Amino acid sequence: MSRDGAELAELVDQARDGQPRAVARLISLVEADSPQLAELARLLGAVPDRAHVVGLTGAPGVGKSTSTSALIGALRSAGRRVGVLAIDPSSPFSGGALLGDRIRMTEHATDPGVFVRSMASRGQLGGLAAAAPQALRVLAAAGCDVVLLETVGVGQSEIEVVGLADTTVVLLAPGMGDGVQAAKAGVLEIADIFVVNKADTADAGTVSRQLRQLRAMAAPRSDWQPPILHTVATKAEGVAELVSAIGEHRDWLADSGELQRRRAARVRSEIEAIALATVRRRFHQLTGAPALDGLTDRVQAGELDPYAAAAELLAGLR
């Protein structure tokens, strides 16, 4: 085994012992799309699917970070080991996470039972789908019982996060303008649990009434009816109820067979995303006639249409 390989093996052992520094370094490796990822996957081997992955999602301003922090507190009080993976879709541009939000979680920074990591999705096609399951596996290997997966906004990264979570919590808050309206088309079909945060402000009742109406109109996805909870995350109000609801959903997942179905779908997407990323890397290594730059020039010059160019690119792989 190479020196790098030996170091990696040591890091994996340390992560299994729950050493935060080793967990952090391994997740950084995953985030950086290191060439050691295949080796890391081999070393991690079969990690028991013990960690319950809870996705938290909602528009900016609903209080996601505060809710995550309150959830960490409640889960720690119950003796659970908690991982937090904050997915930051803005980062492909800035190269950095939304640290302002993360700072609110520093109250848990010295707790050895909590691992908090940000992870950029880097705007690569399928980047998150390929990398996040590896990061989840690292956190599971480190003994996390629950992993909170937090993301920002709506859109593609949202969809990817839903694919990664066992339980998806959709947060809303009063006074977010067209929030419910705009979210309508998507949230009903992704939410396992609704949370109306900032429930001590005016119009919280309006938001949950709108949600109930939407829920009543939608075709049920299963015999799980997503509950609508009220929280004031800044005061930890309603958070115990949220923890209970997450536990009830986990039990339902296990009993109904849905857990197995969701996890198989996750593994399937992961294999596909890793394979596509490999193909993509090969595209970028192609030189000469089938290279991307040359094909781009020919399409721009009107000599080739993009579908014909894509066919030439694929032919160049062989």
For the bound state, the minimum distance from the C-beta of residue 50 to a second copy, rounded and expressed in Å, comes to 13
151: left (phi over 0), alpha (psi -120 to 50) or beta: beta
Residue with Cβ nearer a second copy (147 or 173): 173
Q: For residue 258, state whether it binds a second copy (rule: CB under 8 A).
A: no
Q: Which two tokens stand for residue 244?
A: 């209970």
Q: Give the sheet arrangement for strand 167-172, strand by strand.
A: 114-120, 82-88, 146-150, 52-57, 167-172, 193-196, 228-230
Q: Is 51 helix (H, G, I), strand (E, B) or coil?
A: coil
Q: Which of residues 13-42 bind a second copy (CB under 8 A)?
A: 37-38, 41-42
* 80: nearest Cα among 123, 129, 143: 143
Distance separating alpha carbons of residues 225 and 216, to the nearest angstrom = 10
For the bound state, the minimum distance from the C-beta of residue 282 to a second copy, rounded and expressed in Å, comes to 9
For the bound state, the minimum distance from the C-beta of residue 194 to a second copy, rounded and expressed in Å, comes to 15
Number of residues that bind a second copy (CB under 8 A): 89
Q: Which of residues 124-163 bind a second copy (CB under 8 A)?
A: 125-126, 129, 133-134, 151-160
Q: Which of residues 98-127 bind a second copy (CB under 8 A)?
A: 98, 100-101, 121, 123, 125-126
Count how many residues are written for the chain: 318
Q: For residue 264, state whether it binds a second copy (rule: CB under 8 A).
A: yes
Q: Are 115 and 84 in contact (CB under 8 A)?
A: yes
For the bound state, the minimum distance from the C-beta of residue 117 to a second copy, rounded and expressed in Å, comes to 17
Of the candidates 272, 281, 287, 289, which one interacts with a second copy according to CB under 8 A? 272
Of the candidates 148, 171, 228, 309, which one interacts with a second copy according to CB under 8 A? 309
For the bound state, the minimum distance from the C-beta of residue 4 to a second copy, rounded and expressed in Å, comes to 16
Q: Which of residues 166-205 bind a second copy (CB under 8 A)?
A: 173, 175-179, 181-186, 189-190
Q: Are 107 and 69 in contact (CB under 8 A)?
A: yes
The count of C-alpha atoms lying within 13 angstroms of the C-alpha of 69, restricted to the half-sphere facing its C-beta, is 18
Q: For residue 295, state whether it binds a second copy (rule: CB under 8 A).
A: yes
For the bound state, the minimum distance from the C-beta of residue 185 to a second copy, rounded and expressed in Å, comes to 4
Q: Which of residues 38-67 bind a second copy (CB under 8 A)?
A: 38, 41-42, 44-46, 49, 59-62
* 246: nearest Cα among 109, 51, 92: 51
